Amino acid sequence: MWLVVDLLLVAVFAVLGRLSHHDSLTAAGWWTTAWPFLAGTLLAWTALAALRRPPAAVTSGLVVWAGALVGGMALRQASGQGTATAFVVVATLVLGALLVLPRFGARFSSVGARAGARD
> According to the model, what pLDDT value does residue 100 have?
97
Tens of pLDDT, residues 5-44: 999 999 999 999 999 887 678 999 999 999 999 999 999 9
Task: Report yes or no on 118 lying in a domain.
Answer: no
C-alpha to C-alpha distance for 14 and 9, rounded to whole angstroms: 9
Mean pLDDT of the chain: 91
Task: Report yes or no on 116 lying in a domain.
Answer: no
User: Does the pLDDT at position 97 exceed 60?
Assistant: yes
The whole-number average pLDDT for the span 96-109 is: 91
Q: Residue 55 in contact with residue 3, Cβ under 8 Å?
A: yes
The proportion of the chain whose per-residue pLDDT surpasses 90, expressed as a percent, equals 78
C-alpha to C-alpha distance for 108 and 7, rounded to whole angstroms: 22
User: Does the pLDDT at position 56 exceed 80?
Assistant: yes
| Per-position b or e across 5-20, b if 16+ CB within 10 A of its CB | bbbebbbebbeebbee
Domain count, the chain: 1
The whole-number average pLDDT for the span 90-117 is: 82
C-alpha to C-alpha distance for 45 and 65, rounded to whole angstroms: 10
The proportion of the chain whose per-residue pLDDT surpasses 70, expressed as a percent, equals 90
Tens of pLDDT, residues 105-118: 888 876 555 544 44
> According to the model, what pLDDT value does residue 68 have?
98
Task: Report yes or no on 117 lying in a domain.
Answer: no
Provide the 8-state DSSP code for 70.
Answer: I
* Whole-structure pTM value: 0.88
Range of the domain at 43: 2-111
Task: Report yes or no on 119 lying in a domain.
Answer: no
Cα 7 off chain centre by: 7
Long-range own/partner contacts, residues 64-67 (CB < 8 A, 24 or more apart):
64/6, 64/99, 65/95, 65/96, 65/99, 65/100, 67/40, 67/41, 67/43
